[in-house]
Structure 1
C-alpha cells in the first residue's frame, strides 16, 4: 500500500530507519532528530491495551498510541501543541484517553484511511522525517510460552507469563501474512543505518519482524543493522534476560546473521533509583564477559557504553549519547 509524504529531504544527512515502538523508540527519536532530518520510524501496531486498544475495538482502526508518541517525538511545533496532544482525560467516558489518540481517530474518520490520517497529522505537527505503521493490517499478537500455552493479545502477554511462570518461546501474529507499506520498504532500501529498538523486546520490536518478507528486506539492504539492548529487564517479558538473551531472541525471529552491531549499557545504576525497579521485578541488563564472547562468536560487533539518563527517578537511555553512536555508524556506511 502506498502512503504519500511531502517532507523536505536533506540529502547530506544520514538516512536512518528506526524500527520498534513504545516509550523507548520515542525517546530515541527526540535525540536523533537533532542530528539528521532523514528519519523513518516504522512503528508497531500490534498493541491492544489502554486507550489505543479501546479505539481499536470501538472504531475498528489501527491502534494510534505508539504512532502518536513517535510523531510527537519528531514534532517541530509550539510546546502548547505538544501539551495538547499529550493531554489525557481523567474523568468520564474518556478517562485515560489522550487527545492525540482522539485526534488521529478523527483524522482517520475524515479521510477514511489510517495512512492519510498519519500524513495529515504529520503536516499539522511539522514532524522531522516520517512515521509509518509496520502494516495496515489489523494484526493481533500471540505468544507461545515454554510450557506450550498460547497467549492471545499484546496487553495480556506479560500477565500470563507471570501467571504461568513460564517464559516466552516465540511470538507470532494473525493474520500470518500481513504486508509492509511500500514507503517502509523504500526507506529500508535507501537507508544508511537500520536500527531495532530500544523498546519492549516481544511486544514492540519483534512484532515488526513478523510482517511478510520484512526480515529478508532488512537483511538484503546495504545498511548496517543495529540492535539497541534494553537497560532493564521487563517483568513478564524478559525476566532474567542478559544482553545476549535479548539478541538471541531477535535472531530467533529473523535469521542468525541478521545483526551487525549491538549497543548495550555498562553504566551502573544508582541504588536509590535501582531499588524501585528491583521492587517491581526488573533488573539491570549490563554487558558481561559472556555476552562479549557469545556476540563475538556470532560476528556481531558490540558497542558497550555508558547509556544511562535518569529523569525524575525514571531510568532511560541517554538519547544524545545513543544518537551520536548511531550517526557515527551511519556516516561510516555512507558511500
Structure 2
C-alpha cells in the first residue's frame, strides 16, 4: 500500500508536538500553518520586513526535521541580549534571511526544509500575513492574535483581514489530494480557526473525501476557551465554517494528577471535559485514550496520539480500496 497522504492544519506548540510523533509513521505529511501570529519575534519581523510571521512555521520545521539535535537547538535559540537581537530566535532570523535570498516566503521555507532534511512539506496557509480580529460578546472588536486572549472578554467570533485572502495554491492542492485531513491541537480561536477562515481553504476541506480528524486540546486556554467542553470546541468551528467538518474526534480521557490540575488552575486553565453524549449526538465518532504526558507542562503523548491517527488513516484507506 502506498504511503497515505495526510494534511495537518494548525499552529502553535500542540501541532509541533504531534508532528514529532507522526513523522515516525510511514505517512506523506503536509503541514499547513497559520500566518496570523503578531506577537514577539514573529510580530517584529512581520512588521519590519513585511513578511508572514515565521514563528509557527519554524516550530513545525523543527518538529519534522531530521537534523542533528544540536542544529535544532541552535535554530530554536533565542537571544537574550543585544539591541535589536533580544527576543529573536535564530530560526526566525534564518527564515527571514531565506525569504530575502529566495525572493519569497514559500521558497524560503522550501530551501530551509532541504537544509534541515524535513520529512514532509511545510506550507503557510497563505503567502501573506493576515490580521486576526475578534468580536467579543459585548460588541467590542479586539485586533491581533496576541491581544485577543489578553482582552479579559469573551470571544463571540473571530475574523481575518483581508477577508478574501487567497490561500497558497499548493495548500489547496495538498488538501485535494489528501487521504486524511487532521486539524488541531492548538489555540482554538488564534491557531486553528484562522486557517479555516481562508475561504478557499475551508471549501477545499469541505469538498474533500479524505477522512477528517479533530484532535481536541487537553486543557482550556485562559481568555480563549474558558470552561469549554469538547462539544464547545466543535460548535465554535461549526459556527465559523457552517459545515460539519469531522468524521472523528480524538480526545484525552486519561486522568490528570491533582497537583498538575492545581498548577493549571493557578493559570486559569482546567481539563477539557469530554461530554460524550453531546459529541456523539452531533454525529462525530470519538476516539478517547490516555493521551497526555506531564513534564514541565502537559503535552500530548506524541507516540500514542500518532498511533491512533495512523490506525484510523490506514483503516480508512483499506475501506476505500
Q: State the distance in 2 between where 1:65 and 1:215 align.
A: 23
**Structure 2 match to 1:263:** 250
For residue 124 of structure 1, report the CA deviation from its aligned partner: 0.4
Counterpart for residue 105 of structure 2: 114
The structural deviation recorded for 1:256 is 3.8
Q: Please list every run of 5 or more consecutive structure 2 residues that lacks an aligned counterpart in the other structure.
A: none
CA contact (8 A) 1:40 1:187 kept: yes
Equivalent residues of 1:192, 1:331 under 8 A apart: no
Partner of 1:226, secondary structure, is strand
2:26 aligned partner: 36
Whole-Å Cα distance in 2 between the matches of residues 256 and 297 of structure 1? 16
Alignment partners' CA distance in 1, 2:21 and 2:2: 18
Distance 2:190 2:243 in 1: 21
**1:64 aligned to 2:25?**
no
What RMSD over aligned residues (CA atoms) do the two structures have, in Å?
A: 1.1
Give 2:181's match in structure 1, choosing from 182, 194, 199: 194
- The one-character-per-residue Cα deviations of 1:187-207 (angstroms, maximum 9, x if unpaired) are 111111101100000000000
- The TM-score normalised by the length of structure 1 is 0.92
Following TM superposition, by how much is the alpha carbon of 1:304 offset from its aligned partner in structure 2, in angstroms?
A: 1.3
Q: In the alignment, which of 126, 129, 135 is matched to residue 138 of structure 1?
A: 129
| Aligned equivalents of 1:156, 1:188: Cα separation in 2 | 30
Aligned to 1:322: 305
Counterpart CA distance in 2 for 1:212 and 1:54 is 27
Pairing partner for 2:218 from 231, 243, 247: 231
Which secondary structure state, in structure 2, belongs to the residue aligned with residue 195 of structure 1?
strand
**Distance in 2 (alpha carbons) for counterparts of 1:138 and 1:240:** 31
- 1:89 corresponds to which residue? 79
The answer to whether structure 1 residue 214 and structure 2 residue 201 are counterparts is yes
The counterpart of 2:288, out of the listed 304, 316, 334, is 304
CA-CA distance at 1:283 after TM superposition: 0.5
Query: Residue 2 of structure 2 aligns with which residue?
Result: 12
The aligned length equals 317
**Counterpart-to-counterpart distance in 1, 2:58 and 2:313:** 26
| In structure 2, distance between residues paired with 1:191 and 1:329 | 14
Q: C-alpha displacement at 1:212, in angstroms?
A: 2.0
Distance 2:17 2:72 in 1: 15
- Following the alignment from structure 1 to structure 2, what is the Cα–Cα distance between the partners of residues 245 and 186? 30
1:51 to 28, 36, 41: 41
Residue among 95, 101, 107 paired with 1:104: 95
Displacement of 1:14 after TM fit?
1.6
Which position in structure 2 is the counterpart of 1:247?
234
Structure 1 gaps of 5+ residues are 1-10
Q: Which moved more, 1:255-264 or 1:126-135?
A: 255-264
**Deviation readout 1:34-91 (Å, 9 max, x if unpaired):** 0034000000010000110010111111100000000010001111211110111010
CA distances 1:145-164 after superposition (whole Å, capped 9, x unpaired): 1111111100100111x1xx
Say if 2:315 is the partner of 1:332.
Answer: yes
